[in-house]
Amino acid sequence: MRILFCGDIVGRSGRDIVIERIPQICQDLEIDFVIVNAENAAHGFGLTKGICQDLYNIGVDVITTGNHIWDQKEIIGYIDQDKRLLRPLNYPATSPGRGFTIVPNRKGKDVLVINAMARLFMDTLDDPFPAVDAILKKYPLGSGSLGAIVLDFHGEATSEKMAMGHFCDGRVSLVVGSHTHVPTADTQILPGGTAYQTDAGMCGDYNSVVGMEKTVPILKFTRKMPTARMQPAQGPGTLCGVFVETDDATGLAKSIHPVCLGARLKNIMPEIVNLEG
């Protein structure tokens, strides 16, 4: 199975590059399943029903989020209706929405997608480790029609993300981090066969401070005084993510490659003829 995960969409620049590039990536790499984190898609804060529909229309199968899930209030009344839109699994049980979902890929094989949030330097939530563990025990990789499991672990601390990767090693196809908006260079397959990258990066304008126009964040750091509300940078976007190919027999990873296409960062696109390398 071939899976594409794209990091946090930030504002219009992020939406535009994702809508422009994902259909061609899916065609070029023969993608079976697409996951996108869209928690910053609506002007940098949250997302809307309309944005969800725009993403589904270009072939996105599941949308993950994080700590900005509730920033656009309309999503509170919508999320229960959309089984392909996730909020972090370890939010309180009384929160609307769901933290995992099972969706068939383009060939009819089921994919379990889990969205969890880390706790170091983040909001205080339930412990993500037992929450994820409970789902993996209920839906073991390879059982029934379950062909792949992907975990989007939304968090700040690289150590916590790495710990989650090893905690899940051998039990999921891919553990990938989101939230920091900077792609990390630790793309690898862990010893037990799980593909891993600490952060996929963002889809947005990299001539920015993590996707935001530079002036206000710089003032916030240099003056330590209240500032205006941050606004997403509006320059040309870059799409960042990871591409994973799994073993149909086990659901574990055969290969993982970074994907980076757009205006500012070095462009990286896997060649389909080299996927076994």
Domains of the chain: 2-271 (3.60.21.10)
The pLDDT, as a whole number, for residue 177 is 98
Q: What is the rounded end-to-end Cα distance, in angstroms, of the chain?
A: 16
Q: What is the pLDDT of residues 179-229, one digit of tens each?
A: 999 999 999 999 999 999 999 999 999 999 999 999 999 999 999 888 899
pLDDT digits (tens, 9 = 90+) for 166-177: 999 999 999 999
Question: What are the tokens at 82?
Answer: 């959309």
Query: Looking at residues 102-127, what average pLDDT do you find?
Result: 95
Q: Which residues of 154-163 are buried (b: 16+ CB within 10 A; e: fewer)?
A: bbbbbebbbe
Q: Active site residue: 43, 68, 181, 257, which one? A: 68
Cβ-proximal residues to 216 (8 Å cutoff; 6+ apart), any chain: 227, 228, 229, 230, 231
As a whole number of Å, the CA-based R_g of the chain is 17
* pLDDT in the model for residue 277: 44
Check whether 49 has a pLDDT greater than 60. Answer: yes
Q: Work out the number of other CB atoms within 10 angstroms of the CB of residue 22.
A: 23
| Percent of the residues in the chain that have a pLDDT greater than 70, as a whole number | 98
- Is a pLDDT exceeding 80 seen at residue 99? yes
Q: Is the pLDDT of residue 270 over 80?
A: yes
- Per-residue pLDDT averaged across 259-272, rounded? 92
- Angle of helix 11-29 relative to helix 49-57, nearest 10 degrees, comes to 20
What whole-number distance in Å separates Cα of residue 156 and Cα of residue 122? 7
- Confidence at residue 143, expressed as pLDDT on a 0 to 100 scale: 87
Residues 6+ apart with CB under 8 A from 91: 97, 99, 117, 125, 126
166 labelled catalytic: no
DSSP 136-196: HHHS-TTSTTEEEEEEEEE-S-HHHHHHHHHHHTTT-SEEEEESS-S--S--EE-TTS-EE
Would you state the pLDDT for residue 131?
98
The model's confidence at residue 265, banded by pLDDT at 50, 70 and 90, is very high
Q: What is the pTM of this model?
A: 0.95
Digit-coded pLDDT (tens) for 120-144: 999 989 999 999 999 999 999 988 8
**Predicted pLDDT of residue 272:** 67
**pLDDT, position 271:** 83
Residue 79 has pLDDT above 80, yes or no: yes
pLDDT over 90 at 231, yes or no: yes
